[in-house]
Structure 1
Amino acid sequence: MPDIQVGAQVFDCAFHPTESLLYAGLLNGEVKAFRYDDQGQHEAAFTVRPSKKSCRALETDDDGSHLWAAGKGKGLHTIDISTHKVVESRKNAHEAPINRIKRLLPHMLATGDDDGVVKLWDPRKPDAIRTYTQHYDFISDFLWLEDKKHLIASSGDGTLSVMDVRSSKPEPHAQSEDQEDELLSMVTIKDNSKVVVGTQLGMLSIFNRKSGWGDCVDRVPGHPHSIDALSPLPSTYPSAHSTILTGSSDGLVRAVQLFPTKLLGVVADHGEFPVERIKVDRAGQGRWVASVGHEEVVRMTDLREVFEDEEGEQAGEGEKFGIEDENDSDGEEVVDLEPAPSPAKQDDDDEAQETVVKSSDDEGEDSDVPRERKRKRKKEKDPLAAPGRRKKGRNEVVSDPAFFADL
């Protein structure tokens, strides 16, 4: 599918759970909707602007009839999809810009802001039903565990916390130790028994639910830059229980299998722009994956073209990288992460690549115009190198010349 041009930098995207409808939250505060078909054609559906400030987070309800939008304006807005209008606005829902939204139950959603505050909302009520303040830095991602009714939040303060939404206590059910790195994204594998966390230094930290939430049990290196976005693979693929999509600040969306660990392939390439969000349509069970970076486009990729070869089999013989754990051990950490000072969290506008963005009349010094983002670069050779660099041939064998001396 051709890239969907949206006209401004994209901060977040979301899919309608049952229809071929994509939403994009933009720097200028607009929310744009696009319809697409199986052939890759798309067209604009509607545009609504709930706030004059950037829209950082989007989420739909269970049937797709409403869309929630939030961002730098600190408000929580409800958009009716049928009328394309904002039907409700909770102004100053947070005291800091809202960074994430997650639907938990039919009548419950969570929001997290730049100060680390997490709030639970009932859309039928005007005020938050619960507030958590265990984090002191930005909330980077949410993960919902349906079986235990647990909400997991990752934060730039280096910890993740587990909140039992059935409890009326304002304290979390559990909180990890300081991982000495910013935690940026989360996803589950192995039938929700393990939680994979993407970090600023490019590690995938593995938490085992049976081992508790105090510390990770494994660390998987391999990504050369920060892992800002994670997404599960649709369950229709044989290795979906252990395969995830990773979005890194090096601009690549990768398909990575864990335990054993191997790179299955590169799904999308955003060039020099870091990948901030990855979403799969049809409530995570579709064929189209949307990825957004600090660009004015939403990149749509057909997963069937990436994972199915000419015989219709899933591509699974990728290059191995990072650590190898064939026994799927849940014991000690495999690779130690050397303590390093975590980069301080900045606004979205401070982290984005320097991009030309058209400013509107109502944008002033409080605008989310992006500035240059500083990246950490490792000296080691990137084991997850981007396509375009020399690859080993399909049947090529690399061996020591001395091997042939005695033949």
Structure 2
Amino acid sequence: MPWMVATGDDDGTVKLWDPRQRDVAKTYTQHFDFISDFLWLPDKKQLVATSGDGTLSVMDIRSKKPEPIAHSEDQEDELLSIVAIKGSSKILVGTQIGVISIFNRNKGWADCVDRIPGHPLSVDALCNVPMGVPGVDADSTVLTGSSDGFVRAVQILPTKLVGVVADHGEFPVERIAVGEGVGQAEDTESEATPHDTRIKPSVDDDLDAKMEDDFSREKKWWVGSVGHDESLRMTDLEGFFRETAAGSNGTLDARSDDEDSDVGEGLSGEEGADGPSVGVGEDGDESSDESEDDEAMEEDEAEWESEDEKPKAQKRKRAEKDSIGNSKRGKKEEVVDKGFFDEL
């Protein structure tokens, strides 16, 4: 129902509001910790809420009863973000420990059917890739925002890390959104990623001429990410996938696997515009890209060991685990260290 607004409180209360009325329309109290994210399922008119109490709940807003129609088991970790893929048949949920849980709607909401490790810190934000973005399987690729400050592109089923889209330094990424638009863009920081830009406002006095010019220009897909560094970073999403595909001999592995597995695969890496990365396969063996020589690897590892500061999550009260991520930023490049996923 497009006229309804859902809000979640820090105490776990979910409220539905009708902007045409002053009072709250409906209240749900099945959660006892903060509400972190919502997902709307239009086919069933259902609202899914994730909570810091480690559970998710499904509410049918057409029902007169202020009770959820489904409530998952305790996942033993804070659930922080949620998004749907593969025609809303699969639901991805980001957690505090960096694992992405997969729920299959056909098998119910009681428990997840698979878990995907790979992120060194919490997955605070999830976002779909629109169908109009060229060179990517949008039905199985998502953008993730983590407490280590990275916005990543991740392909699900089969699972692999596509690359790092944007970098907020050591500041956690809170929200991600993708939109289509036009505008002039220029680099604002010397340490920005190859596509990390900000929109430069036009000073054209002739508004009609500007609007006509905008409509005549080809639009691009942009991803905006907001972090604790109090900045909005705009990244050319098309450019990122284009260069990633070029680094993979012009193709992306866009296979799909609808079969659920009992054990989640780690994020397997691929060298692209954002540098080399590695992953863990089903058998647990490490795989690496041979484009980097051993000498460069040793230099990177020595540099990482000499650093005192590591990425850390902010504004979280739970104990943090040691980060195994590493960023090495040049003037206009972002490199993910080869040891990024070794311990997963």
TM over 0.5: yes
**Aligned letter for 2:45?**
K
Alignment-derived partner of residue 177 in structure 1 = 73
Tell me how far apart the structure 1 counterparts of residues 33 and 58 of structure 2 sit (CA, whole Å): 16
* Residue pair 2:245, 2:252 contacting (<8 A) in 1 also: no
Q: Does 1:330 align with 2:260?
A: yes
Give 1:102-181 correspondences, 5 Å limit.
105-181=1-77
Tell me how far apart the structure 1 counterparts of residues 246 and 257 of structure 2 sit (CA, whole Å): 29
Q: Among residues 211, 230, 238, which one is paired with 1:296 in the alignment?
A: 230
Distance 1:179 1:268, change over 3 A: same
Secondary structure of residue in 2 paired with 1:388: strand
Give 1:220-235 correspondences, 5 Å limit.
220-235=116-131
**Aligned letter for 1:260?**
P
**Aligned letter for 1:332?**
D
Alignment-derived partner of residue 94 in structure 1 = none
Secondary structure of residue in 1 paired with 2:97: coil
* Residue pair 1:150, 1:162 contacting (<8 A) in 2 also: yes
Alignment-derived partner of residue 335 in structure 2 = 388
% identical aligned pairs: 59
Number of residues of Structure 1 aligned to a counterpart in Structure 2: 250
Alignment-derived partner of residue 151 in structure 2 = 253
Alignment-derived partner of residue 105 in structure 2 = 209
Q: Among residues 308, 312, 321, which one is paired with 1:377 in the alignment?
A: 321
Distance 1:146 1:157, change over 3 A: same
Tell me how far apart the structure 2 counterparts of residues 372 and 211 of structure 1 sit (CA, whole Å): 32
* Residue pair 2:140, 2:256 contacting (<8 A) in 1 also: no
What CA deviation, in whole Å up to 9, does each residue of 1:56-88 have, x standing for no partner? xxxxxxxxxxxxxxxxxxxxxxxxxxxxxxxxx
Tell me how far apart the structure 2 counterparts of residues 240 and 182 of structure 1 sit (CA, whole Å): 27
* Residue pair 2:328, 2:337 contacting (<8 A) in 1 also: no
Tell me how far apart the structure 2 counterparts of residues 121 and 157 of structure 1 sit (CA, whole Å): 23
Alignment-derived partner of residue 365 in structure 1 = none
Alignment-derived partner of residue 205 in structure 2 = none
Of Structure 1 and Structure 2, the greater helix share is in 2
- Give 1:312 deviation, angstroms: 8.2
Tell me how far apart the structure 2 counterparts of residues 137 and 276 of structure 1 sit (CA, whole Å): 18
What CA deviation, in whole Å up to 9, does each residue of 1:12-69 have, x standing for no partner? xxxxxxxxxxxxxxxxxxxxxxxxxxxxxxxxxxxxxxxxxxxxxxxxxxxxxxxxxx
Tell me how far apart the structure 2 counterparts of residues 144 and 150 of structure 1 sit (CA, whole Å): 6
Consecutive unaligned residues of structure 2, counting only runs of 5 or more, are 182-218, 266-311, 340-344
Alignment-derived partner of residue 266 in structure 1 = 164
Tell me how far apart the structure 2 counterparts of residues 210 and 391 of structure 1 sit (CA, whole Å): 37
* Residue pair 1:280, 1:287 contacting (<8 A) in 2 also: yes
* Residue pair 1:222, 1:382 contacting (<8 A) in 2 also: no
* Residue pair 1:121, 1:130 contacting (<8 A) in 2 also: yes
* Residue pair 1:223, 1:384 contacting (<8 A) in 2 also: no
Alignment-derived partner of residue 244 in structure 1 = 142
Alignment-derived partner of residue 211 in structure 2 = none
What CA deviation, in whole Å up to 9, does each residue of 1:162-189 have, x standing for no partner? 0001101101010000000000000011
- Give 1:332 deviation, angstroms: 3.2
Secondary structure of residue in 2 paired with 1:332: coil
- Give 1:106 deviation, angstroms: 2.5
- Give 1:375 deviation, angstroms: 6.2
- Give 1:282 deviation, angstroms: 4.8
Consecutive unaligned residues of structure 1, counting only runs of 5 or more, are 1-104, 319-324, 336-350, 354-370, 393-407
- Give 1:280 deviation, angstroms: 1.2
What TM-score comes out, normalization by structure 2 length? 0.65
Tell me how far apart the structure 2 counterparts of residues 372 and 164 of structure 1 sit (CA, whole Å): 31
Alignment-derived partner of residue 240 in structure 2 = 306
Give 1:68-83 correspondences, 5 Å limit.
none
Alignment-derived partner of residue 199 in structure 2 = none
